[in-house]
Amino acid sequence: MKTSIFAVALFAISTAGVAYADSSSPTDVDQSASATTMQWSPNANAKALTRAEVREQLDQAQKSGQIAYLRSLYKGR
Question: What digits encode the pLDDT tens for the residues 11-51?
Answer: 677 776 655 555 555 555 555 555 667 777 777 778 889 99
pLDDT score recorded for residue 16: 67
As a whole number of angstroms, the distance between CA 29 and CA 50 comes to 48
Mean per-residue pLDDT, 61-65: 96
Q: pTM of the entire structure?
A: 0.40
φ, ψ for residue 13 (rounded to 5)?
-70, -40
* Residue-level pLDDT at 44: 74
* Size of the chain in residues: 77
pLDDT at 29: 53
Among 69, 49, 52, 73, residue whose Cα is nearest residue 61: 69
